[in-house]
Structure 1
Amino acid sequence: MATPAVPCPCGLPAAYQECCGPFHSGARSAPTAERLMRSRFSAFAVGDTAYLLRSWHPATRPDRLDLDPEQHWERLEILASERGGMFETEGSVEFRAHYREGRHTGSLHEHSSFSREGGAWVYVGPLSPVDFD
């Protein structure tokens, strides 16, 4: 798990405890769809399934989420984002998430939909087929 001195997995130039940590703990909510996407990537990287489920739209959220302990999420690239600002209710983020599994490296490419529920951004789901490289 990330510690305060460790850079945040999301790729922004801040320590985990100052960047995505407050979102994961519930102390703050992500202000934009892109920040929610970054915080969800960080949650995958640190294994925070509770946050992943909390930040998933209730209509598309699975009952449970089991992460593969052999899969290590290493780097996130934000390719594009539309809407999803502080004063909007819908948005989308296109990203590529890089992972390592044993000696194999790969990436996941997704264009995701986000919406506000009860004032908080949540992940709805992919807008197009998810592509694993």
Structure 2
Amino acid sequence: MANDHGSLEPSTWDPALDAVIAAPDHHKVLFENDRVRVLEVTLEPNDEEPVHHHRWPSVFVFDAIKPPVHDFAPDGTQLPPNRDVIQAIQSWDGQGCLVVHMAPQPAGRVLNGSDQTLHGIRIEMKV
């Protein structure tokens, strides 16, 4: 498996680590064409996704999310809480849906450390 964690160019990232391929239990394609892909993302309490990436920028709309949520590098190192979703959760007031504009995400994995199922719709813009 190629280590694409450090690569800044999403087009070079290993296709086998695409979220839908590498973490199919957590990413379901609801719609896809040549411009967008819409995913339903689900992560049960205390569940951790396999290592995967998201090569396109996206808008992530969470209708259920509760901290703590942790990001890990492919080697298991916990990432600092500076990624898009983690920062948004920390500043969110818990009302309505949480909408996060996201840059492409290199390979990593997410752990839902809460007692609530994480659920959202991620709209990826193919560029």
Compute the TM-score of the two structures, normalised by the length of structure 1.
0.29
Q: Which has the higher helix share?
A: 1
Compute the TM-score of the two structures, normalised by the length of structure 2.
0.30
